[in-house]
Amino acid sequence: MEIITTAALYMTVTMDVEINPDPPEDEMPIDSERDDIMNFLTHNEDVFFKSQQKWEADLTVKEKMAIATNIFESSKLNFLLRFGKHLQRNHLQYFEQFTTICEPDGAEISLVLKELYRNSSDHVHIDVKNRRYAALLQMIQEDSYFSEIEMMKRNPLLYEQLVGQYLTDQEKKIRDKYEMNDQTTFVKILMEGIERDDAEIVRKNEEEKEDNQMEEEDTSDEETELSNGKPSSPQPSYSRWGEFEDSKQYKPPFKQKQKLTVTAEERKLLKEEFITSMYQSFLDGKDEDFNYDSVDNNSVYDNITEIEHDEQEKYFAEENSNDAEMKKDEESSEDELDIYMNALNQHPSVHQLSKDLQKL
């Protein structure tokens, strides 16, 4: 049995074949899924439909639609080989119906779909990561979603542990001050106050939950020590001489949380740790109230990533150019110094002075 490879199938399609741009005379049956695929392709600027000369006008959407429709009607396999890499996963699922034995090229279509699924999954994952990173950079610049107050509201306990507990009363006052502008309304101020109150309630609940969990772990450790036969530390006696002590009434002294003192540099590092954690939470898709579909499926963020990349390349190119010029200037300066020193050494008076020093 001859093994068919995906590469061999791709070779069967010639990209430069002239395709009749006129739509088929017979009206095609209504198929919403197929129509969605055609609309998706014809509005994608990266899709190649037909070889054109530079002086020719760009294809219209109608002409693109006609070309894609003709290929689709003539061969589902050729359509996938031609346009499959541009389709999304839900589009590829439409072609599963053409993989049966009864369908022409069913086995080949199945093989191509398998390869496209694999590439589509990897490609989508990379696109999502890049788009989220681009959105992150944009929102950092806007200083809204990733402002200190907004991040505090999203994770109040982590903020308190790493940042809040080390702030002075004056710093907290500055932080909590509501910024007034032309778009500020009474409703916005009211909603902001409610959100901050809710964040404080969440922080206290999470803190209490964390404390209870730590107490349970301590109790579990004590029980483990007793079960292993290890004697526990004797409890201190608080009864007076001649009195009987009821061990059941013993209560350990309340341990009040001590506020740690940290240096300014340590505070800075802790705040950076909090901010980095919030950035990573966004990139990992863990921000529950954020609409990730607005980023993950938005090709606008692809352009932002490209612009950032171009700016970085331009910056490094200029930096390398400056380094090269500085190095050239240094080498030129060294060459001039060498020439001067050689000429000086050849001077008769300097030569005679050198001989006199050697005699000494």
With cut-offs at 50, 70 and 90, classify the pLDDT of residue 213: confident
CA dist., res. 70 & res. 23, Å (int): 7
Token duo for residue 125:
């994952």
Average pLDDT over residues 177-188: 63
CA dist., res. 351 & res. 325, Å (int): 37
Mean of the per-residue pLDDT values of the chain:
75
CA dist., res. 341 & res. 222, Å (int): 82
Average pLDDT over residues 112-133: 84
Rounded to a whole number of angstroms, the CA Rg of the chain reads 37
Distances (CA, A) of 338 to 41, 101, 332, 345, 353: 67, 84, 10, 11, 20
User: 241: which DSSP letter?
Assistant: T
CA dist., res. 148 & res. 190, Å (int): 19
Token duo for residue 197:
């109150």
**Predicted local distance difference test score (pLDDT) of residue 210:** 77
**Predicted local distance difference test score (pLDDT) of residue 180:** 59
**Predicted local distance difference test score (pLDDT) of residue 124:** 75
% of the chain at pLDDT higher than 70: 58
**Predicted local distance difference test score (pLDDT) of residue 279:** 96
Q: Which of 203, 187, 277 is nearest to 178 (CA)?
A: 187
Question: In this predicted model, what pLDDT tens digit does every residue of 76-87 receive, in sequence order?
Answer: 999 999 999 888
Token duo for residue 57:
């006008």
Task: Tell me the whole-structure pTM to 2 decimals.
Answer: 0.46
Question: In this predicted model, what pLDDT tens digit does every residue of 301-357 receive, in sequence order?
Answer: 887 756 666 655 565 566 666 666 666 555 555 555 566 556 656 655 555 655 554
CA dist., res. 248 & res. 327, Å (int): 81
**Predicted local distance difference test score (pLDDT) of residue 232:** 53
Contacts of 56 (CB under 8 A, 6+ apart): none
Question: In this predicted model, what pLDDT tens digit does every residue of 23-68 receive, in sequence order?
Answer: 444 456 678 899 999 999 999 888 889 888 888 888 899 999 999 9
- Give the residue, 1 or 166, on which the prediction is more confident: 166
Q: Which of 86, 80, 82, 118 is nearest to 99 (CA)?
A: 80
**Predicted local distance difference test score (pLDDT) of residue 16:** 42
**Predicted local distance difference test score (pLDDT) of residue 359:** 56
> Cα dihedral sign for 307, 308, 311, 312?
negative
At 254, phi and psi to the nearest 5? -65, 125
- Give the residue, 138 or 257, on which the prediction is more confident: 138
